[in-house]
Structure 1
Amino acid sequence: MRKILGVDPGLKGGLSVIDERFNFIASIPMPVKTAADGSDRIDSRPIYDFIKEYQPDLIVFEQVGSRPRQKGVFKFGEGFGIVLGVAELLCDNIMFSRPQEWQGHQSLIGLSKKQIAEVAFAVFKAEAIYGKPRAGKRAVRDGISDSLMIAKFGVRFLE
């Protein structure tokens, strides 16, 4: 069975693996470590271990850009580069999809992060989408739900 890895590349992002029949295999929140200067930084080792363990046939990255004068652009680009570099070491088949594309092909445009998480949960039944309840409400890990839906979008590109 062929596997697809979806990547939401931000610090609050995630990595999710599904198979070509839309069966959930595994997810992890984006691994983060504290840098020497006290800032958060993407941790490449757990990403390497995760990708190596599941050996996806295709990796689909969310391709995002920055807005003018947006803070943290360099830091985001650094994190994106870390994840991409690790992915390229372990998989020859990598593609990129803008949010408008992967969301549009799945009728998700205009939905909130919570609504996208509900759709992802309905499709994959992945408890990893929800974190610990806060104030009586289930917390949404939108990095996990987005990465699942990015992977789902990628199934159409398997050869």
Structure 2
Amino acid sequence: MLIIGIDPGISGSICFFDNGKILKVIEMPTMTDGKKNKKQVNGAQIFNEISNGIKNFEKKDVKVVIEQVSAMPGQGVTSMFNFGQSFGILKGICSAMQLSMYFVRPAKWKKYFNLINSEKDASRTRAIEIFPYFSSELSKKKDSNKADAILIASFFYETYKIADY
């Protein structure tokens, strides 16, 4: 079973995870939007990456797990709109590709890995502990988004059989 773990948003990541092993992790494809050079997710590139990632699997054996995000206190209206837009693009692409989607709240997967009330970078440390063979891909502080995508996929892989999704 191929699990695609997704940390949504402009600085998010996508992890391709097969039978407990990380196949590939990519940063969220983005593109420049408008005169102010703001970034937005690149839906066409996301489609291409997922299409390439699933080509050796039957659709019934692919599970997409997206972090269930919502508005957070203190974030601006514009950034929350952009975050929601990214989430919607991901849902739309996966729906159009007829892939099974599951949503997991951050508190649920973070509790599983004992990351509640920890620093953002703690997920990177935890991912390196669990997947030491992938540590070179998680060497920078900015790689915490890749670690989140890995842990989202790993959480689903480890709890999928017993969870009520």
Question: TM-score band, normalised by the shorter chain?
Answer: 0.7 to 0.9
Instruction: Name the Cα RMSD after superposition.
Output: 1.9
Aligned to 1:29: 27
Alignment of 1:37-56 (within 5 A): 37=35, 38-55=37-54
Contact 1:44 1:83 in 2 (8 A): yes
Aligned to 2:143: 141
Structure 1 runs, 4 residues or longer, greater than 3 Å off: none
Q: TM-score, normalised by structure 2?
A: 0.82
How far is the alpha carbon of 1:158 from its aligned partner? Answer: 5.7
Contact 1:13 1:142 in 2 (8 A): no
The amino acid across from 2:45 in the alignment is: P
Give the share of equivalent positions with the same residue, in percent: 26
Gapped regions of structure 1 (runs ≥ 5) = 131-137
Deviations, residues 35-65 of structure 1 (Å, cap 9, x unaligned): 1232111011221111111226111111111
How far is the alpha carbon of 1:140 from its aligned partner? Answer: 3.5
Higher helix share: 2
Alignment of 1:1-159 (within 5 A): 2-20=1-19, 22-37=20-35, 38-55=37-54, 57-68=62-73, 70-71=75-76, 72-124=79-131, 125-126=133-134, 127-130=136-139, 138-155=140-157, 156-157=159-160
Contact 1:121 1:129 in 2 (8 A): yes
Gap change, CA 1:158 and 1:88, over 3 Å in 2: farther
Tell me the distance in 2 between the aligned counterparts of 1:9 and 1:142: 13
Deviations, residues 103-128 of structure 1 (Å, cap 9, x unaligned): 11222223322221011122223233
Tell me the distance in 2 between the aligned counterparts of 1:91 and 1:142: 29
Q: TM-score, normalised by structure 1?
A: 0.85
Contact 2:3 2:17 in 1 (8 A): yes
